[in-house]
Amino acid sequence: MAVEWYLVLSALLFAVGAGGVLVRRSLLVILLCLEIMLNAGNLALVAFSRMHGNADGQIFAIVVMVVAACEVVVGLGLIVAIFRRKLPLNVDDLRGLKG
């Protein structure tokens, strides 16, 4: 199978993730969409790795997964902390950075 199909899938996944980040307001969903985007990247890495016939890309993919896991830990932690302080879980209401 040609590598293009994997890339198309990866691009679609990435677009879904990006669209989710831009459109959704719930923190939790945005976090999920971020994960989707990361996995889209992973898919592309693995595909290229297969194409070139060496394992470098797959190792990168594993590293990205570790990073993603860390990110989820921090992200979920933040979400729980926000929830505990009875703040809205809506990103549009969290505007402390406004200049």
Residues of the shown chain interacting with other proteins in the complex, contacts defined by CB under 8 A = 18, 21-23, 25, 91-92, 94-99
Rounded distance between C-alpha atoms, residue 64 and residue 70, angstroms: 10
Block residue for tokens 């809205």: 88
C-alpha–C-alpha distance, residues 47 and 68, integer Å: 19
Of 32 and 62, CB closest to other proteins: 32
Q: Least distance from C-beta 72 to other proteins, angstroms? A: 18
Q: Are 88 and 27 in contact (CB under 8 A)?
A: no
Least separation in angstroms between residue 30's CB and other proteins is 8
